[in-house]
Amino acid sequence: MTELPARRLLLVHAHPDDESINNGATMARYAAEGARVTLVTCTLGERGEVIPPELGHLAGAALGAHRHRELADAARELGVDDVRLLGGAGRYQDSGMTGLADNDDPGCLWQADVDAAAAHLVEVVREVRPQVLVTYDDHGGYGHPDHIQAHRIAMRAADLAADPAFGPGLGAPWRIARVYWNRVPRDVAEAAFALLEGELPGLPFDKAASVGDVPGVVPAERITTAVDGTAYAAAKAAAMRAHATQIEVAAPYFALSNRLAQPLFTTEYYELVRGEGADGHGSDLFAGLGEAS
């Protein structure tokens, strides 16, 4: 068997662009430090709103194919070369925003059987054997159906991957040592938005978003790990720019299709929800794990 890198990080996201917004600096840092960084994206974001007028004709499968290319470009900016789509390209489609009829599409991720979808992720887990898994909380960060479902699939796969009785044809069992959820401490978000208000006149955005628009905001005491990615700020911004259909970047700020400015965080925050080392605050997702293979 090919020898694996000492540190292995798996991230599970819902759509292309989520990885760069939430974890771009973290991914770039660990990739540069020699860790194996594996990204699994659950859909192609076929129902995303397109920002540039010249790309406004893209929709459905055509938009998904375009966003797949954007995802590849973003990963290159981050130095990540292991990017996968859950179950293969197009297996699960974007479910649209909460409450829309799109949520009822039998082919969308929201309608997927969680165990069946998790089995695809189990195969990846048993192949790459990550010590660390990063995904969303049980609210998906902000309530999007695909983010909630990505959370469910990731957490279920972490359980099933360690179960010797599950999927004997999917590889040897593997227990993920730590599971983290994406977070932003409320005090950090509030300070960043206060600074944004003063800089808004010089930005290409008319209005600012609010702290409530940022996924995963929690009280600071829930943060267990803060990964300093300031050395990779340019890589994160470039990766976000690669998702041109979805994001407009004016670093250190950006906006989505609503054109509401929000901070581009280069220190990225996590809450350890499962595994070793839950006490205290750290700066390394792998701290103290050793080099188990």
159 in a labelled binding site: no
In contact, 159 and 149? CB cutoff 8 Å: no
Sign of CA dihedral 168, 129, 2, 124: positive
281 in a labelled binding site: no
DSSP assignment string, 138-183: TTTTT--HHHHHHHHHHHHHHHHHT-TTS-GGG-S----SEEEEEE
Q: What is the largest CA-CA distance in the chain?
A: 59
CB atoms within 10 A of CB 214: 20
> Taking CA 13 as the corner, what is the angle to CA 2 and CA 246, rounded to the nearest 5 degrees?
125
Q: Which single residue is written with the structure tokens 């409450």?
A: 99
In contact, 5 and 34? CB cutoff 8 Å: yes
The single-letter code of the amino acid at 109 is L
57 in a labelled binding site: no
Return binding residues for Zn(2+). Answer: 15, 18, 147
Return binding residues. Answer: 15, 18, 147
